[in-house]
């Protein structure tokens, strides 16, 4: 089995990232499916290991050439130094800046083709901004670092995939931003991603904006006809299997029973809610449209429990599995 190198960014050092990384490395499966390397801070990982009762060894390295990927060893490319007394569970400029530096290093490695994928532990947006990096989150930051003009967020959970037309903006702004071109490009990114994952002819369900898909003009101001339907008609003319715009409540019910391979949500909460109902511990965030593979946990820094050792690593493990699957496909396609 081809085992890709996966760069795991530590996220905000004040959050649960260091703990869920140490817990994930305790699973033999991780070494069996990939060659994992952390981009972060060795001292913080050692502290997280002590908190979690880990018996793993943390080994700081300068670059990938020094990595051995030996089971039982957490290899970390050291990027800066986190102050040993930086408290868990608090917003800090130091934590936000560190999280950015880890992503920056991982992006360089991925763009250069030195790693097969990036898998990110969570960062905190307030800390990121306090550290001088004004981005809404990982998705927009990675788009900037890779010179990508437009990307999409795809969330996955058991039995459900959702790609978002808009994400981290207010609802009024989201409706204003949606247009037929953006909807079409989002669907195209979803189609391409599923095709790379082995789903050659995906079934795609597209959400409406308004309740009841506008109910023939009773709700809204014709947004479905203006902003969504033209994109669907263009792609249906290609022979793609697309339905919509459909009322979101009905569409997610049908997706849950297996009618669709992916749902296209128009705004953040329309897509995030159903995924998180299915279990935040199994959710994965995939950035679609980048020149590199990036997956992530589908939860935040959890400052309320950071530093206590109780954080659940299952979302990170699932994100790593998906990173491996997508990295394998990319490697095979490039061969």
Contact 158, 281 (CB under 8 A): no
Contact 265, 164 (CB under 8 A): yes
pLDDT digits (tens, 9 = 90+) for 27-57: 999 999 999 999 999 999 999 999 999 999 9
Report the residue count for the chain. 335
- In this prediction, residue 335 carries a pLDDT of 42
In tens digits, the chain (335 residues) has pLDDT values of 579 999 999 999 999 999 999 999 999 999 999 999 999 999 999 999 999 999 999 999 999 999 999 999 999 999 999 999 999 999 999 999 999 999 999 999 999 999 999 999 999 999 999 999 999 888 889 999 999 999 999 998 888 999 999 998 999 999 999 999 999 999 999 999 898 878 989 999 999 999 998 888 788 899 999 999 999 999 999 999 999 999 999 999 999 999 999 999 999 999 999 988 886 667 789 999 999 999 999 889 999 999 999 999 999 999 999 899 888 555 444 44
Percent helix, strand and coil across the chain, each to the nearest 5: 45, 20, 40
- In this prediction, residue 180 carries a pLDDT of 97
- In this prediction, residue 136 carries a pLDDT of 84
- In this prediction, residue 332 carries a pLDDT of 46
- In this prediction, residue 281 carries a pLDDT of 66
Contact 112, 133 (CB under 8 A): no
H/E stretch holding 46: helix 42-52
**Domains parsed from the chain with CATH numbers:** 1-151+290-335 (3.40.718.10), 159-278 (3.40.718.10)
pLDDT digits (tens, 9 = 90+) for 277-313: 886 667 789 999 999 999 999 889 999 999 999 999 9
Strands (E), 52-177: 57-61, 73-78, 117-120, 152-157, 160-164
């Amino acid at each position: 089995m081809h085992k890709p190198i996966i760069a795991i960014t530590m996220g905000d050092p004040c959050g649960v990232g260091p703990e869920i990384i140490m817990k994930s490395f305790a699973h033999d499966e991780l070494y069996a499916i990939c060659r994992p390397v952390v981009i972060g801070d060795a001292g913080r990982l050692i502290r997280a290991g002590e908190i979690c009762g880990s018996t793993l060894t943390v080994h700081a390295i300068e670059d990938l050439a020094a990595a051995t990927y030996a089971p039982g060893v957490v290899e970390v490319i050291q990027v800066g130094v986190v102050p040993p007394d930086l408290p868990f569970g608090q917003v800090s400029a130091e934590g936000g800046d560190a999280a950015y530096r880890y992503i920056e290093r991982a992006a360089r490695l991925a763009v250069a083709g030195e790693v097969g994928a990036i898998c990110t532990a969570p960062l905190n947006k307030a800390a990121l901004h306090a550290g001088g990096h004004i981005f809404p989150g990982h998705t927009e930051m990675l788009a900037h670092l890779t010179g990508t003009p437009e990307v999409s967020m795809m969330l996955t959970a058991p039995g459900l995939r959702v790609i978002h037309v808009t994400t981290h903006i207010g609802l009024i702004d989201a409706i204003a931003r949606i247009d037929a071109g953006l909807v079409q490009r989002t669907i195209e990114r979803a189609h391409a991603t599923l095709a790379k994952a082995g789903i050659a002819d995906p079934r795609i369900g597209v959400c409406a904006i308004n309740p009841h898909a506008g109910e023939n003009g009773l709700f809204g101001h014709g947004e479905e006809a203006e902003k969504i339907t033209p994109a669907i008609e263009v792609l249906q003319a290609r022979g793609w299997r697309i339905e919509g715009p459909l009322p979101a409540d009905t569409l997610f019910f049908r997706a849950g029973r297996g009618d669709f391979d992916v749902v296209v949500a128009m705004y953040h909460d329309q897509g995030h809610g159903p995924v998180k109902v299915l279990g935040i511990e199994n959710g994965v965030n995939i950035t679609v449209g980048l020149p590199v593979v990036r997956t992530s946990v589908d939860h935040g820094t959890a400052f309320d429990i950071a530093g206590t050792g109780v954080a659940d690593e299952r979302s990170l493990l699932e994100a790593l599995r998906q990173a491996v699957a997508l990295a394998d496909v990319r490697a095979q396609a490039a061969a």
